[in-house]
Amino acid sequence: MKGPHNIIRLIRTGATLERAGAMNVVLDAFEAPPALRFVAKALAKPFRWLGYKGDPTMPPAIRAITALGPAYIKFGQILSTRPDVVGDELAVQLRVLQDKLPPFSVDQAKAEVERELGMPTDALFSEFSEPVAAASIAQVHKAKLAQEDKFVAVKVLRPGVEKAFQKDIDAFYFAASIVELFAPSARRLRPVDVIKHFDGVVQGELDLRLESSAAGEFAANTEKDEGFKLPKIRWEFSGRRVMTLEWADGVPMGDNIAIDTAGHDRVDLSERVLRLFLLHALRDGYFHADMHQGNLKVAANGDIIAYDFGIMGHIDEYTRRVYAEILFGFIRKDFKRVAEVHFEAGYVPADKDVDEFARALRAVGEPIFGMDASKISMARLLAYLFEVTERFGMETRTELILLQRTMVVVEGVARSLNPNINIWQVASPVVTDYIQKSIGPRAVVNDLYKTARVLTRFGPRLPRLVEQALIAQSNPQPPKRNGFWRWITLAGVIGLLAGGGLTLLIEVLA
């Protein structure tokens, strides 16, 4: 991670930002303090001539990022999910950032396939097209299986991409450390943690077996979801650097004319794509975190097809319940309950005033709910919510930010299909159903059942645990510790017996 190459890379980065006219844009977006601005400009200006020129037709920040190469393009895309870090204005610019890299040759792609799968490409595929999409990490080819009359999409990593990314990621860690050193106010945004998040995302995308696994898990979760389809992974033609999945035929989700020509109902599609996202996020805690139009198609039968599983979001069950209660509270305009949920979850420091926080939330919610129903934006609400929680000392939570960003994207997809969609009307049944199942009486029984199942696993070890506890009691111990062990033993025995009985009762009743 350390070394002169990091300093050299950062100088060239600063020089490119300066040459493209993006230095002030980036510093303003990060709200850089004077000390950090001074260091950045002092390193960049004298070496401006070292900066890459880039495409002068692009906006400054996009021009600089695309000129700096694949790692910076991917980092820009990841930062578009973090308006809390780069600000809303730059985040919007970064969302339209496209992978503008030239594809590598078909011969190179075939060579990579042969090395990874251990067989000649011609023996595997009777047809292998020119690249149909080229990104910063990989590109995709349309191919036909030699032994089957089926077309597939073959995703191949760029040659040498792992080494190139690792070099730049080291420089990113170095830069984040400098930011934390010279900008104490930025520590709340946890720049090193942001880089760790980026590093984890990239490492996952650099091993296509992990993306294949993510696609498989997502498919298992959603196989019974009506009107939703995922292309099947062909594991026998996949590996670390190659991923093969069935070809998905359909019209692009972003082409309304093609959708209308095919006879699809755009109103139904707009509502379905929003419901599906909320269902996956709340029910499964595992959702497609890059659901823009470019990763969605509409099949001939009207099914929504999703692909490209490089970025997936995960939220644990407790966080899902908190998120659902927050949404449900806003739907009911119960701002006091929304405030209490934040305090109960520990999102807002306990020394803050819950009533004051509730009033701040009302100031956020009331103007939005005063709008026409079709203009109410859940994405805008979440953005305002994070602004308020930030003022009350809530620390950045990466999983919620990713959820918010995906909500923004999905809402944009829905409104592009149907500008008059009532977001709350569509979301309410999904959120209400989840609340009833995860927070109501049924949820209490399920939680007790899960707890009992865990406790009964200790059944075979119970005699030994009791024996150890009795031996510990027989040894001279301070009174306080003896009392502690007696309570632990008693609670353990009661818990194990109650757990076993409850499990047996539930299984008998089932």
Return the higher-pLDDT residue of 204 and 29.
Answer: 204
Q: Which residues are 305's β-sheet partners?
A: 229, 297
CA 148 to chain CA mean position, Å:
35
Return the higher-pLDDT residue of 79 and 292.
Answer: 292
Picking from 65-74, 210-219, 396-405, 430-439, which range would have the lowest pLDDT averaged per residue? 396-405
Is the confidence at residue 160, as pLDDT, over 80? yes
Let me know how long the chain is: 510
118-153 pLDDT per residue, tens: 999 999 999 999 999 887 788 999 999 999 989 999
Handedness of CA 319, 322, 326, 328 (dihedral sign): positive
Return the higher-pLDDT residue of 499 and 4.
Answer: 4
**Which strands make up the sheet holding 151-157, listed edge to edge?**
125-134, 138-145, 151-157, 242-246
**Catalytically annotated residue among 84, 290, 334, 351:** 290
Is the confidence at residue 77, as pLDDT, over 90? no
Nearest to 485 by CA among 462, 506, 465: 465
Say what the pLDDT of residue 333 is: 81
pLDDT confidence of 439, banded at 50, 70, 90? Answer: low
Q: Are 467 and 492 in contact (CB under 8 A)?
A: no
Say what the pLDDT of residue 10 is: 75
Is the confidence at residue 110, as pLDDT, over 90? yes
Q: Are 322 and 346 in contact (CB under 8 A)?
A: no
In the chain, where the domains are located:
4-100+163-200, 105-157+207-247, 250-439, 442-509
Alpha helices in 183-316 (DSSP H): 191-205, 208-222, 256-261, 266-279
Say what the pLDDT of residue 168 is: 83
Q: Are 71 and 169 in contact (CB under 8 A)?
A: yes
Query: Of all residues in the chain, what percent carry a pLDDT higher than 90?
Result: 25
Say what the pLDDT of residue 128 is: 95
CB atoms within 10 A of CB 155: 24
Q: Which residues contact 508 (CB under 8 A, 6 or more apart)?
A: none
CB atoms within 10 A of CB 257: 8
CB atoms within 10 A of CB 122: 12
How many Å apart are CA 429 and CA 410, to the nearest integer? 17
Is the confidence at residue 482, as pLDDT, over 80? no
* Topology, domain 105-157+207-247: Phosphorylase Kinase; domain 1 (3.30.200)
Query: Of all residues in the chain, what percent carry a pLDDT higher than 70?
Result: 73
Say what the pLDDT of residue 120 is: 92
How do 242-246 and 251-252 pair as beta strands? unpaired
Only one residue has tokens 């070292």, namely 50
Say what the pLDDT of residue 509 is: 37
pLDDT confidence of 111, banded at 50, 70, 90? Answer: very high
Say what the pLDDT of residue 498 is: 43
CB atoms within 10 A of CB 469: 17
Q: Are 306 and 256 in contact (CB under 8 A)?
A: no
Q: At what angle do helices 161-182 and 191-205 cross, to 10 degrees?
A: 170
3 state DSSP class of 313? strand
CA 406 to chain CA mean position, Å:
7
pLDDT confidence of 199, banded at 50, 70, 90? Answer: confident
pLDDT confidence of 503, banded at 50, 70, 90? Answer: very low
17-43 pLDDT per residue, tens: 888 877 877 777 666 677 767 777 776
| Whole-number CA gyration radius for the chain | 27
Nearest to 90 by CA among 24, 34, 135: 24
Picking from 94-108, 217-231, 334-348, which range would have the lowest pLDDT averaged per residue? 94-108
CB atoms within 10 A of CB 400: 22
How is residue 104 annotated by DSSP? Answer: P
Say what the pLDDT of residue 364 is: 74
Is the confidence at residue 68, as pLDDT, over 50? yes
Q: Are 414 and 271 in contact (CB under 8 A)?
A: yes
Is the confidence at residue 337, as pLDDT, over 60? yes
How do 304-306 and 228-229 pair as beta strands? parallel
Q: Which residues are 242's β-sheet partners?
A: 156
How is residue 233 annotated by DSSP? Answer: B
Say what the pLDDT of residue 45 is: 74
232-258 pLDDT per residue, tens: 999 999 999 999 999 989 999 888 999
Is the confidence at residue 343, as pLDDT, over 80? yes
Highest mean pLDDT (candidates 149-158, 374-383, 386-395, 490-499): 149-158
Say what the pLDDT of residue 493 is: 42
Mean pLDDT in the chain?
78
Q: Any catalytic annotation for residue 290?
A: yes
Nearest to 202 by CA among 310, 336, 313: 310
